[in-house]
Structure 1
Amino acid sequence: MTVHYRRIFKSHQTGVATIRELLQTMFVGEMLLVGKKIWIVSPWVSNVVLIDNRSGNFDTLNPEWSRREIRLVDVLVALMARGCHVVIVTRNLETNTPFINVLSDVAERNALESQVTIKIHDALHTKGILLSKCLLMGSMNLTYNGLEMNDEWIQFSIDSEDIAKTRLEFSMYTVGV
């Protein structure tokens, strides 16, 4: 029997490293085999650390990053530069504004505005990260507290049917855009 998903129950004491490693692996994988479109759906979102490159292990992914912690905006812009369209669905909250502004500014500076869609949905409670070959869904917002502090339930899936159904559901957020 092939297992296509994994459930993770995280508290501020357990599972934090698991979530960090999972997100790092997901986004490194996406950098290696860039898809056409990815989705980040989170009512609260911030420029969290995704990849720990302080040791230089990921220098070949993007030599411009240097040896430091690589944040969400860095990864998204690198994916956009490789042809991936990034869709962010979030709420109109003051805490999301810095992330949205930084992503928009960096995309504009790199002439990548056409590669990003930011959709504000004030009734949003859904949370998920949908990459080309995997899906992470659950209770976790993409924030420091979501990754490090809060108790969260997360499910990681590589099931192609699950990914396809979620892609259809997420596309409803951008109907008419």
Structure 2
Amino acid sequence: MSDERLIRTSGRTGVRIDGILATVLLAELMVPSRHLWLVSPWIGDVDVIDNRSAAYDSVFVDPSSRVYTFAEVLAATTHRGGRLSVVTRPDPFNDVFLDRLFRQAAAGQAQVMRAEDVHEKTLCGDDWLMTGSMNFTYRGMSINDEIVSYRVDPAIASAARIDFTRRFDNAR
């Protein structure tokens, strides 16, 4: 069974991806995918889960009333048994995110592959896929006109993970 939602984001209209991305990441914190893939040419350590109201305290191991960043949340999934593969361009812009991610990730549970020509933008778990034109950056998530597809479909997600492994496992 497949469920898909298309989101057209825009700074002008105020339509944003934050809510769906936060929901996906909260689900990953509760039950991490065996292997989570993040493929994006540019990745920023953007704010992804707003816990200032303490609404998500039960999801975090050591909760605090604050905003959690992308690197923190992805690293937290590795401490809960999930494996993480990140594919991005070898660009200094990505280094802040990658440095924060690897300082916080469980040893041996996260890997980065740098691919000069990568242009795909996808976040993929065990049974879902978020893909489209949006880089995982502040501009991509808050300002630019983008289209993002969020799809729950184990077969599609599995095919994407197999393809990522085939394409990028040697790019380390």
The TM-score bracket by the shorter chain reads over 0.9
1:89 aligns with 2:83: no
> How far off is 1:105 after superposition?
2.2
- What is the TM-score with the length of structure 1 in the denominator? 0.90
Deviation at 1:161? 2.0
Q: Would the aligned equivalents of 1:138 and 1:152 in 2 still touch at CA under 8 Å?
A: yes
User: What TM-score does the superposition give when structure 2 sets the normalisation length?
Assistant: 0.93
Deviates more, 1:62-71 or 1:85-94: 62-71
Deviation track 1:36-80 (CA, whole Å, cap 9, x = no partner) reads 110110000011111110100001111423001111111112111
Q: Contact 2:5–2:151 at 8 Å: present in 1 too?
A: yes
Distance (whole Å) between structure 2 residues aligned to residue 37 and residue 106 of structure 1? 17
Shift of 1:3: 5.7
Aligned equivalent of 2:136 = 142
- 5 Å matches for 1:14-163? 14=13, 16-17=15-16, 19-107=17-105, 112-163=106-157
Q: List runs of 5+ in structure 1 lacking aligned partners.
A: none
Listed as ranges, the gaps of 5+ residues in structure 2 are none
Q: For 1:63-109, what per-residue CA distance to the aligned partner results, in whole angstroms no more than 9, with x for missing partners? A: 423001111111112111111011110001111111111212223xx
Counterpart of 1:6, as a letter, is R
| Distance across 2 between alignment mates of 1:163 and 1:55 | 33
Alpha carbons of 1:15 and 1:158: their partners in 2 closer, same or farther (altered >3 Å)? farther
Q: Aligned pair in 2 of structure 1 residues 168, 65: CA closer, same or farther (>3 Å)?
A: same
Amino acid at match of 2:120: T
Between the aligned residues of both structures, percent identity stands at: 31
Distance 1:102 1:24 in 2: 19
Distance (whole Å) between structure 1 residues aligned to residue 74 and residue 27 of structure 2:
13
- The DSSP-based 3-state class of the residue aligned with 1:153 is strand
1:11-37 CA-partner distances (Å, limit 9, x unpaired): 1123534x1000011011111112211
Amino acid at match of 2:24: M
Aligned length: 171
Opposite residue 4 of structure 1, the aligned amino acid is D
* Structure 1 stretches of 4+ moved >6 Å: none
**Is the Cα–Cα contact under 8 Å of residues 126 and 158 in structure 2 kept in the other structure?**
no
CA contact (8 A) 1:30 1:132 kept: no
Asked if the contact 2:89–2:116 (Cα under 8 Å) also holds between the matched residues in 1, the reply is yes
Q: 1: distance between equivalents of 2:61 and 2:31? A: 17
How many angstroms apart in 2 are the aligned matches of 1:48 and 1:62? 18
